[in-house]
Amino acid sequence: MIDARPQPPPPRPPRAAASTSAAEKSSLILKHAPIGDNQEDYDVLENGGVVGRIFHLQAAAPEGRPWMWASGHNGDIKRAAHGYESTREAAMAAFAKSWRRE
C-alpha cells in the first residue's frame, strides 16, 4: 500500500556563512518624520542614527518620479547620493543599494 499523505520536506543543509561588509550587516529602518505640510516624509536610520531621508515632492520632482531619496545625512560625504523614484518602495530600494555600495 502507498501512503498518499503529504510528507514534510527534507531538512535543509546548513547555509555557509556569507562574507558581508558592515554596511550589509546593519539594517536600514524607515521612520515616519513629517516636516511641515508634507506628511510623506521619512528619516532613514542605521544603528539608531539618521543617515538619509525619503520624501514625496509636491512640485519639483521629475515627471513620474515624485519620491526623492538622499543619503549622507550622517556626515559620510563619500556615501552621499540622491535620486528620484516612482514609488516610496522604489526609493527605499535605491537608497539601500546606494548606501551599501563600497
Per residue in 40-57, pLDDT (tens digit) is 999 999 999 999 999 999
Q: What pLDDT shows up at residue 87?
A: 96
φ, ψ of residue 35 in degrees (nearest 5) = -120, 125
Query: Which segment of 64-68, 73-77, 90-94 scores lowest on mean pLDDT?
Result: 73-77
For residues 85 and 93, what is the distance between their CA atoms, to the nearest angstrom?
A: 10
For residues 75 and 55, what is the distance between their CA atoms, to the nearest angstrom?
A: 19
Q: What pLDDT shows up at residue 94?
A: 95
For residues 45 and 22, what is the distance between their CA atoms, to the nearest angstrom?
A: 15
Do 79 and 3 form a contact (C-beta atoms < 8 A)?
Answer: no
